[in-house]
Amino acid sequence: MNTKKLRQLIQFSFLILTFYGIYKFAMFVYYGKPRPDFMDGFCPISGVYDIIMQIRSGITDPFHPAAMAIMLAAIFTTLLFGKAFCSFICPIGTFQDILTAIRNKLPLAKSLDKIGEKIKNHTLYFLLDYPLRTIKFLLLGWIIYIILQIPPQMMSMMNQNINAAADIELFRFWIELFKGGRPLIASIILAIVALSFLIPRFWCKYLCPLGAFYGIFNLFSLTHLRRCPANCNSCNLCSKCIIGLKPHKSIEFNNTECTMCLECKESCNRNGIKLQILGREIPPFVYPILAVGTFMGIIFLFMQAGLWHSRLSIQNQAYLVLKQGFNVEWAKEILGQR
């Protein structure tokens, strides 16, 4: 099995897990079934907040500890193996890759690629590309700035008042969106989807603050992709980078953008691009096994340490579900409101 097929298999597995999690969370909200803790991964701001709260006040979030666990697992995986989370695990990235795969089967795909290549090869392209890539870092900086404005002694109280219902509030947001209740936001999301159809990984390139966050750690990763000029014949087969980088013009790929999808490595037929951990070359098919295995292993450690399951009582869960506007019978029964 080549690296691309292995990557697609892993992506598909995590995408199925995501759909399963959405189903389980809907069963929790509407019927009071057990809440799936791993869906805290869709509350990354909660994860960042929890890490900062832990550092500043020493308090661990009792409501969504899995959010911090997933965030830390992704950070440590990035430090060891680069931004594998973005290319192998993240369902948003997978969704964009599916859009690109559909786009590539259309008759207009080659024409769009030719136009894209002309734009990318223009001498003034960097004046457009680089400023746009800074947007996600500005969003990340704004999020962290807002969190840091909260005094350490107030973070626990703010967490209780705001963060406790973050997952239910997010679920309500998407329900309202699909019912047509947020037309402006729906229009923005549809525009991003359309741009992601035309430009591979548009969200990842320009708007994802989480990708920007991991990108900072990617600068210090122990895993490197390097172009070997002695083996390179400038065939440009590696130039079709899904994130819009230029491997054929680079030596070191450890930057804030590279998602370690390994497609440049896979496309090279002269071993002109080397995948190395601490300077030692490794086979490409080993990389996703190491990266995803490390990510899952760290999460397992958090589970064993008791830092995964929410400590919210069933009564508090029922209260939060009702507070978010879900008028469900199971919650009213538990709180004696029938």
Task: Classify 274 as helix, strand or coil.
Answer: strand
- Residue 79: band (very low, low, confident or very high) from pLDDT cuts 50, 70, 90: very high
**For position 90, what pLDDT does the model report?**
97
Q: DSSP secondary structure string, 187-239?
A: HHHHHHHHHHHHSTTHHHHHT-HHHHHHHHHHTT-SEEEEE-TTT-----GGG
196: closest CA among 243, 133, 137?
Answer: 243
- Residue 129: band (very low, low, confident or very high) from pLDDT cuts 50, 70, 90: confident
CB 46 within 8 A of CB 252: no
The residue segments making up the domain with residue 142 are: 3-334
What integer is the mean pLDDT of 53-71? 94
**For position 142, what pLDDT does the model report?**
97
In this structure, the chain runs to a length of: 338
CA gap 227, 252 in Å, rounded: 7
CA gap 282, 291 in Å, rounded: 13
Kindly state the DSSP code that residue 36 receives in the 8-state scheme: -
CA gap 131, 57 in Å, rounded: 36
Q: Whole-model pTM above 0.75?
A: yes
pLDDT in tens, 165-174: 999 999 999 9
Task: Classify 283 as helix, strand or coil.
Answer: coil
pLDDT in tens, 307-333: 999 999 999 999 999 999 999 999 999
Is residue 16 predicted with pLDDT exceeding 80? yes
CB 323 within 8 A of CB 335: no
What does residue 67 show for φ and ψ, rounded to 5 degrees? -65, -45
- Our count of domains for the chain comes to 1
Better-scored residue on pLDDT, 122 or 255: 255
Beta bridge partners of 274: 226
Task: Tell me which residue has tokens 């999690």.
Answer: 21
From residue 24, how far is each of 17, 65, 222, 261 by CA, in Å? 10, 18, 37, 30
Query: Strand locations in 295-336, DSSP E?
Result: none
